[in-house]
Amino acid sequence: MRNQVIWGIALTAIGAVISIIAALGLLFLLIYGIPLIVIGLALIIWRGREETIEAIKE
């Protein structure tokens, strides 16, 4: 598995745990949970794009 996929899964999981804790009463934690989920999903969705971009340049 690629490094960005591992980081994406880890960040998404951490964000989900923080969001669950926020749902239990600490709403200010959503400030941290939601961006972690978004960043993690972005890493998973756009994995390998740099290779495609570099291939076009050459």
Distance set, CA 49 to CA 5, 11, 46 (Å): 12, 19, 6
11 or 57: which leads in pLDDT: 11
pLDDT of residue 8: 84
Instruction: With a cut of 80, say whether residue 36 has pLDDT above it.
Output: yes
State the chain's mean pLDDT as an integer.
80
CB 4 within 8 A of CB 43: yes
Q: Residue 24 contacts by C-beta under 8 Å, 6 or more apart in sequence?
A: none
Q: Alpha-carbon distance 3 to 5, whole Å? A: 5
CB 40 within 8 A of CB 17: no
Question: Tens digits of per-residue pLDDT, 37-56?
Answer: 898 888 888 876 666 666 66
pTM: 0.72
- Each domain of the chain, given as residue ranges in start order, spans 3-57
Q: Alpha-carbon distance 23 to 19, whole Å? A: 6
